[in-house]
Amino acid sequence: MKTGVELIVAERTRQIEKEGWSAEHDDEHGREELAQAAAVYAAPCQIFEMCGDGGRTLVLTDIWPFDDEWDKRTHKYTGAYDIYRDEWLKKNKARRIKELTKAGALIAAEIDRIQRLTEDPTQ
């Protein structure tokens, strides 16, 4: 079984080799969209699935920064809060690990993008 770090490295490699998300492409996302997408993938569904309790309502905004076609989350808002989260995770472990892996790879891409901002091209 691969570790989390190994899964993230493999996913980042896949993003570059299969999706074509090069450094140049990532540099076009200067509003921290990569970090924003990572946050969305990493967020537990509770952030998106809130139900009213005693008449109180909590509304949260989905911060997905890209076109819907790139949104591969499995836990988009459905209108129901899953109070049995651990049971859901047991049944959907592979899907959740895949989302967290994508989040880690996007964070790595954002870190690299920020580091390139401070590189001195003369050195």
Bridge-partner residues for 56, per DSSP? 53
What single-letter amino acid sits at 85? R
Amino acid at 63: I
User: pLDDT (tens digit, 9 = 90+) per residue, 16-71?
Assistant: 999 999 999 999 999 999 998 998 898 875 554 444 555 455 556 677 788 888 88
Say if CB 38 and CB 104 are below 8 A apart.
Answer: yes
Say yes or no to pLDDT of 112 above 70. yes
Q: Taking the model in full, what pTM does it have? A: 0.73
Give the C-alpha separation, 95 to 104, whole Å.
Answer: 14
Question: Is 23 within 8 Å of 112 (Cβ atoms)?
Answer: yes
